[in-house]
Amino acid sequence: MNGKNNMAIGFLVMGLFMIYGFILIYLRDFAPGKEEWANSYSIGKHFESRLAHVHGNLFAFLNILIGYLLLHFNDKLNNVKSISWLALTGLLMPIGILSEVYFGLPPVLVLIGAIAMTASVIWLGVSFLKMKNAGM
In a domain, 136, yes or no: no
In a domain, 68, yes or no: yes
In a domain, 103, yes or no: yes
Question: Using DSSP, how many helices (H) and how many strands (E) does the chain show?
Answer: 6, 0
In a domain, 49, yes or no: yes
Q: Quote the CA–CA distance of 7 and 63 in Å, as a whole number.
A: 6
In a domain, 96, yes or no: yes
If one compares 18 and 34, the residue with the highest pLDDT of the two is: 18
In a domain, 135, yes or no: no
Q: Quote the CA–CA distance of 76 and 13 in Å, as a whole number.
A: 28
Q: What value does the mean pLDDT of the chain take?
A: 93
Residue 133 has pLDDT above 80, yes or no: no
If one compares 95 and 132, the residue with the highest pLDDT of the two is: 95
| Domain, as residue range, for 57 | 4-130
pLDDT of residue 22: 96
In a domain, 105, yes or no: yes
pLDDT of residue 136: 52
Q: How many domains does the chain have?
A: 1
